[in-house]
Amino acid sequence: MNSNMPLSEAIRGRRSVGRVKSDPIAREVIEQLLEAGNWAPSHHATEPWRFYVMTGGGRQALADAYADIAAEGATDVSGQELEELRAKQAAKAFRAPVVIAVVVSPSTAKGVSRIEEFAAAHAAVQNMLLMAHALGLGTIWRTGEPAYHPRMKQAFGLGEADAIVGLVYVGIPETTPSEGKRRPAADKTVWMTGEADSKQ
């Protein structure tokens, strides 16, 4: 694992990796990801991110939440069909040897904006993704409706104001990720220089 990868390479080379091996990831390596997340910027130095690391049987809490959420939405399904649905949804929790739920616990201090607390937690996730890539790991940042469901909050004992901003799946990639594509930054940039000839 190469943690000396240049930052520009880590940024351009990182990909969402959905298929990873079941090999366990050493605790010290996971802690490097958490430490990277912990150094994200936050307004008013609130550090609002929290990390719930699930490995081994610890992923069952996530599996149960996925199953319960799916069952709640499947009002016209019962018996064997319902059990199969629950099992299929529960299996999502075991698609990687490590799953990290990244949570924002917004500060209630005067002057702190809730939306900025979310921005800080999202920055923490990005730091973790970049560090994982630099270490030769594959990650995918999963969200979607189940992540925001009250049952998912219950799985981690979250408070009313807390929210999950991502479920980060971590493992050793099964294959080499494909090349990435981006439209040029110039296509999305407006230069405001105050000069008459600045429109290029």
Q: Tell whether 197 is covered by a domain.
A: no
CATH code of residue 124? 3.40.109.10
In the numeric block, the tokens 């992923």 are attached to 59
- Alpha-carbon distances, residue 66 vs 3, 32, 92, 173 (angstroms): 34, 28, 8, 24
What does the alpha-carbon distance between residue 141 and residue 129 come to, in Å, rounded to a whole number? 8
Q: CA nearest 177: which of 129, 144, 119?
A: 129
Rounded mean pLDDT of 159-166?
Answer: 97
- Number of structural domains in the chain: 1
Q: Tell whether 48 is covered by a domain.
A: yes
Query: What pLDDT is attached to residue 2?
Result: 53
Poorest-pLDDT segment among 75-84, 126-135, 190-199: 190-199
Query: What pLDDT is attached to residue 3?
Result: 62
* Residues 167-180 pLDDT 10s: 999 999 998 888 88
Q: Which domain holds residue 176?
A: 7-188
- The pTM for the full model equals 0.92
192 pLDDT higher than 70: yes
Q: Tell whether 2 is covered by a domain.
A: no
198 pLDDT higher than 90: no
Query: What pLDDT is attached to residue 4?
Result: 77
In the numeric block, the tokens 């921005």 are attached to 119
Q: Tell whether 182 is covered by a domain.
A: yes
Q: Tell whether 194 is covered by a domain.
A: no
Q: Tell whether 139 is covered by a domain.
A: yes
Q: Tell whether 14 is covered by a domain.
A: yes
Partners of 16 in beta bridges? 139
**Residue stretches of the annotated binding site for FMN:** 14-16, 43, 141-143
Query: What pLDDT is attached to residue 78?
Result: 80
What does the alpha-carbon distance between residue 153 and residue 30 come to, in Å, rounded to a whole number? 22
* Residues 100-154 pLDDT 10s: 999 999 999 999 999 999 999 999 999 999 999 999 999 999 999 999 999 999 9
**Residue stretches of the annotated binding site:** 14-16, 43, 141-143
171 backbone dihedrals φ, ψ, rounded to 5°: -175, 180
What does the alpha-carbon distance between residue 191 and residue 116 come to, in Å, rounded to a whole number? 25
| pLDDT, mean over the chain | 94
199 pLDDT higher than 70: no
